[in-house]
Amino acid sequence: MENEYVCYCNHVTEEDIHEAVKEGARDVKEVIKKTGAMKNSNCAVNNPKGTCCYTDIVAVFEKYINNY
């Protein structure tokens, strides 16, 4: 299985976000801090969607937060 990025600018994967939640991130701000997502971003160029990855980060966070 190929690791697809959630945050293309900083190469953050769904697994990275999952790990951040497992390690205690309890909101999206903490996930961003732990993973480095959205830092020095250029989403229009790097993200195939051409949009900011924030909503994708939120969706992945919500997928895992209730498990911990």
Domain that holds residue 12: 5-65
Count of domains in the chain? Answer: 1
Is residue 12 a contact partner of residue 37, using CB atoms and an 8 Å limit?
A: yes
Give the domain CATH number at 18.
Answer: 1.10.10.1100
For residue 19, the model assigns a pLDDT of 98
For residue 40, the model assigns a pLDDT of 86
Q: Distance (Å, rounded) from C-alpha 60 to C-alpha 12? A: 11
3-class secondary structure, 48? coil
Length of the chain: 68
State the number of CA atoms in the 13 A half-sphere of 5 facing the CB: 18
For residue 61, the model assigns a pLDDT of 98
Residue-by-residue pLDDT tens, the chain, 68 positions: 456 999 999 999 999 999 999 999 999 999 999 999 999 889 999 999 999 999 999 999 999 999 98
Which H or E run contains 12? strand 12-13
Residue with tokens 């293309």: 8
Residue type for 1, please?
M
